[in-house]
Amino acid sequence: MPRPDIRLTPDEQAAFLRSHKKCALATLDPGGMPHLVAMNFVFRDGAFYMTSYGKAQKVLNARRDPRVAVMVEAGSEYRELQGIMARGHCEIIDDPGRVRDVFAWLGEGRDTARPSGSAQSVPKRVVMKITPQRIVSWDHSKLGGRY
């Protein structure tokens, strides 16, 4: 019996990315090894947006080599696992206005306000805009108990 198609449809991907705000971001360190960190993100107009301090290792890595990967995942048990992995390129945007925009986007639909000190950090921050070149997705609930 062929394995069912467990990919998320485009509509399911959009809904998944709207409902999840934390991802794992992988950049490449100077030696070519993965550097993996947790990040908050917002997905808009086909790209992942996040902010970071301009001197952070992930930003230095992306400036040197813009190839990155993002993974957003959910579920505790195998039959519940859902996720999206996107591989693409990261553009570093050094514009305080864009940092403020991304802060506002990150705050949309949240019950809590950004920490009071976040506005003061804007001049030290950058936007990481990740444009996917390839997206892989999965929803193990589509296996229907066959795993």
12, 28 Cβ separation under 8 angstroms: no
Q: Give exposure, 51-77, as e/b (b: 16+ Cβ within 10 Å).
A: bbeeebebbebbeeebebbbebeeeee
The pTM assigned to this predicted structure is 0.91
Phi-psi region of 45 (alpha: psi -120 to 50; beta: other; left: phi over 0): left
Q: Given CATH 3.40.50.2300, say whether it is the number of domain 10-143.
A: no
The pLDDT tens digits for 113-128 are 555 566 788 999 999 9
Give the pLDDT band (50/70/90) at residue 140. Answer: very high
Tokens of 28: 């490449």
What is the residue extent of each domain of the chain? 10-143
Q: What is the rounded CA–CA span in Å between residue 59 and residue 50?
A: 11
The pLDDT tens digits for 53-101 are 999 999 999 999 999 999 999 999 999 999 999 999 999 999 999 999 9
Name the DSSP class of 2: P
